[in-house]
Amino acid sequence: MIAKIDRGKNLMGALYYNYHKVEKEKAQVLFTHKIIESPDGSHSVAQLSRSFELYLVANRKTEKPILHISLNPDPKDTVSDADFMNIAQDYMKEMGYSNQPFVVFKHTDIERTHIHIVSVCVDAEGRKIADTFEKIRSMVVCRALEKEYNLISAMEKKQNSQQLSFKPIDYTLGDVKSQMASVIRHLPKQYAFQSLGAYNALISLFNITSEEVRGEYNGITKQGLLYFALNDKGEKVSNPFKASLFGKSAGHSQLLSYCENSKIRLQTHPIRASLKASIERTFQTSTNEIDFKKGLQLQGIDTVTLRNKEGRLYGITFIDHASKTLWNGSQLGKDLSANVFNASWQKDTKREYVIDENQPQVKHDQSEEIDGGQTHESNSFEKEIIDSAPREKGLLESLGVLLPQDQGEDYEEQAFANRMKKKTRRRKR
């Protein structure tokens, strides 16, 4: 079980965030402690807020008196309402908040059922409740609760994360956003790539693609990214998802910054020479494009090629999963440039798939907002044919790609927490 603790100034914001989900039947008020009850037993934001007013009025110096905690069992855990109530009470007691008023909301809007607790971190006399070593104490409490309620240990799962198999997303299974998030949120932390094109080559292995979008807001040009799910043929099969849904690391500016850092790292990377030798050797011994790509896959190297509408190869990217690095052919040497491969394979027409120019494309609203609130126009990275080797589905599994699975991530919760932090930073300025 993982606990997330956030503090803020806005009680009504924390209550509205949770109660809005209650109204949408995606959450429920599971339990209240020291809360003034209404005559008919119903709940409302106004009714819940009254129980906190005396504490906030008494508050002396605490800048952020509102406490917003989420307790998140593993998605595979089955937790009853009674256990959730007991877990919430036990957690608040052990963290020193047993005498505080608090409301427990059970959220069911994602596949991982979890609870949110809204409270205050000042006592009835306005004094701040001690939060020294709070994160460490919270981890200790969570480990104890895992044992008491027979929950999957978050620490053991973390230790075994390197053994987790990770597969390309399958849009037919549903919950596409969560599947995509488990890839997008972690790839930049695992691989070194030098351009957004190389990044797109990487995520294409997981049946995902991105498009760059540009727009103007208050006279300032803004840029961002949209993400799409792909089928096994490389065709878009989902509506667009804004990068902001997947965290800061998935955004345009962050990825560009990561590319610049990767360029420096890769200039002196020790794998470069041996990787070049392996690719050259495989190229010399293969009879065609398919054999070449399969030969590299056996060595833990994926190949992604770019072709224009006429079928001419103009880009080639090599993804070495052992070193977690991406290289354009020309970066490794002139003899591995796209032109060299195109000249060799121009008579080889066998490819796993080619995107039909006449296929129906997923359309998205051109007035849709991206980060910063600006409208955008699509500027696709995918205007040409993207051709990859016949993908061995077991390759990523056998290599043990270090990508933890985040199915069930609560993006709305994360966005709410980020808004709380942003408001605090703005006030400090």
Does some domain include residue 420? no
Give the predicted TM-score (pTM) of the model. Answer: 0.51
Q: Can you give the pLDDT at residue 352?
A: 39
- Residues 259 and 348 reside in one and the same domain: yes
Report the percentage of the chain scoring pLDDT > 90.
Answer: 55
Over residues 354-360, the mean pLDDT reads: 38
DSSP 357-413: TTSPPPP--TT---TTS---EEEES-SSEEEE----TTHHHHHT------TT--HHH
Q: Give how many domains the chain has, as a whole number.
A: 2
Q: What is residue 388's predicted lDDT score, i.e. its pLDDT?
A: 53
Percent of the chain with pLDDT over 70: 77
Amino acid letter, 15? L
Q: What is the mean pLDDT of the chain?
A: 81
Are 263 and 351 contained in the same domain? Answer: yes
Contact 300, 322 (CB under 8 A): yes
With a cut of 90, say whether residue 339 has pLDDT above it.
yes
Sign of torsion, CA 235 238 239 244? negative
Cα three-residue angle 365-371-372, rounded to 5 degrees: 110
Chosen domain end from 157, 188, 214: 157
Residue 181 in this model has a pLDDT that exceeds 70:
yes
Q: Cα–Cα distance between 46 and 50 in angstroms, integer?
A: 7
Cβ(363)–Cβ(333) below 8 Å: no
pLDDT reading at 125 higher than 70: yes
Does position 368 have pLDDT exceeding 60, yes or no? Answer: no
Are 90 and 195 contained in the same domain? no
pLDDT over 70 (residue 273): yes
Least reliable range by pLDDT among 56-70, 157-171, 179-193, 350-364: 350-364
CA–CA separation, 243 and 168 (whole Å): 19
For residue 336, being part of any structural domain is answered with yes
Does residue 165 lie within any of the structural domains?
no
Query: What CATH number is associated with residue 18?
Result: 3.30.930.30
pLDDT digits (tens, 9 = 90+) for 384-418: 455 554 444 444 544 444 344 444 455 556 666 66
- Please check the confidence at residue 354 and state whether its pLDDT lies above 50: no
Of 157, 187, 207, the domain-final residue: 157
